[in-house]
Amino acid sequence: MTTIADVAREAGVSISTVSYVMSGKRTISQETRERVEQAMARLDYSPHAGARSLASRSTQVIGLQAPLRAGVDVHVVMQIVAGVVREARLHEYDVLLLTSDDASGLERAARASKVDALLMMDVESDDPRIATLSALSAPSVLIGLPTGAGELTCVDFDFQAAGALAVERLAARGHRRIALIGSPPEVVSRHTSYADRLARGFLDACAAHGIEGTVHPCPSTAEATAVVDEIVAADPAITGVFVHNEGALPHVSARLARLAARGEGPSDVIALCPVDVARAVHGLTEAIDLPAEELGSAAARVLNEILAGGAPDRVHLLAPRVVPIVEP
C-alpha cells in the first residue's frame, strides 16, 4: 500500500510538505505543489477518507495520555512527552495532556471532539484501554506494544531486542551467570509491556547462549541495595548484571562497586537507560541507550502521517544501540 512517506520520497520533499499540500494548512510554492501532486498521481495515492473528513473539523490538538502510575520513571516519561510536543509543533499541533490511567479520559477527549487524534503511553501487555481506543473514531497510536493491539498502530523501543543485546554483550565477555535487575514490582505486576518484553528477550537470549540468567524486580529507591545483596547471597557466582531501572541505577551501581572493592559480587554492569542518566552514574561498563525523546517524536510523526491520510506500518520499533560511557 502506498503511503505518504512514499509520496514524499518520490517528490523529493518531507512528509510534512506532502501533508501541507493535501491539507492546505500552509502556503507551498506552486513548483513544489505540482511536484507533490505529480508524485501522488504516479503512485496512484489518495488520502484516506477519514483523514479528509478530519481536516474539515480539525482542532489542531493531539491528546496524549501519560498516566503517572506507581513505579514509572517521571524523568523518562517527560522526555517522551517532550519528543511528542516537539514533533507536534513542527506540524502545527498542540498537545493536550491526559493524566487519567483508564479509558475514560481517552473517551471524553475523543467524543467531545477536543482532539484530532490520541497517543497512549504506559501500555500493558493486555491493556484494558485497547478495546475503547479501537472503538473510537479518532486516529490513535500506542507508545508501547501490547499483545492484543489488533489493528492499532504501535511505536516503541525494541525492549525485547535490548534484553537480547545485553546478554550478547555479557556472553561475549565470558559471563556464564548473569542477572537482570529490572522494573519496580508494581510495574512488573501490571505486566507493563516494556518490562515483559525486556525480560522475555533477556531470558530467551540466555537460553540461546547457554547462560544461567535470573530476573529480579527492584524498587526505584535506596532499597535497591537490598535486592543486590539478595542476588549476591543467593548466587555468589553471578559475574554480570544488566539494569533497567533509572531510579535504582545509582544505588545498584554504588552497592556493586563497594562489593567489588572487597572482591565480592559482579563487576560487569550494563544499563538500559537514556544516555544522560548513564553518564551521571559511576561504575557502568557500558550502556544501551533508551532514546526516550526520540521515541516520543517517532510516535507523533507516525500519528501525523495518519492524520495526513497515510497508512503507515502497524508496528514501528526503535532498534537498541550500545553507547560509550564517559565517567562523570
Residue 49 has pLDDT above 80, yes or no: no
What is the reported pLDDT for 64?
Answer: 96
What is the reported pLDDT for 53?
Answer: 44
Mean pLDDT of the region 76-95: 95
Residue recorded with cell 548513564: 278
193-209 vs 159-172: helix crossing angle, rounded to 10:
30
**Closest alpha carbon to 227 in 200, 253, 252, 250:** 252
Cβ-based neighbour number of residue 42 at 10 Å: 12
Query: Is residue 54 very low, low, confident or very high in pLDDT (cuts 50, 70, 90)?
Result: very low
Q: What is the C-alpha separation between 87 and 54, in angstroms, rounded?
A: 20
* Matching fold, domains 4-46 and 159-289: no
pLDDT, tens only, 248-300: 999 999 999 999 888 888 989 999 999 999 999 988 999 999 999 999 999 99
CATH 2.40.50.140 applies to domain 4-46: no
Phi-psi region of 144 (alpha: psi -120 to 50; beta: other; left: phi over 0): left
User: Hey, what CATH topology would domain 58-157+292-318 get?
Assistant: Rossmann fold (3.40.50)
Query: Is residue 52 very low, low, confident or very high in pLDDT (cuts 50, 70, 90)?
Result: very low
Q: Could you tell me which residue, 6 or 295, shows the higher pLDDT?
A: 295
What is the reported pLDDT for 298?
Answer: 97
Q: What is the C-alpha separation between 305 and 19, in angstroms, rounded?
A: 8
The grid coordinates of residue 257 equal 562497586
Q: What is the C-alpha separation between 62 and 52, in angstroms, rounded?
A: 17
Query: Is residue 4 very low, low, confident or very high in pLDDT (cuts 50, 70, 90)?
Result: confident
Residue 322 has pLDDT above 60, yes or no: yes
Q: Where are the domains of the chain?
A: 4-46, 58-157+292-318, 159-289
Query: Is residue 57 very low, low, confident or very high in pLDDT (cuts 50, 70, 90)?
Result: low
User: Hey, what CATH topology would domain 159-289 get?
Assistant: Rossmann fold (3.40.50)
pLDDT, tens only, 206-220: 999 999 999 999 999
Q: What is the C-alpha separation between 258 and 152, in angstroms, rounded?
A: 47
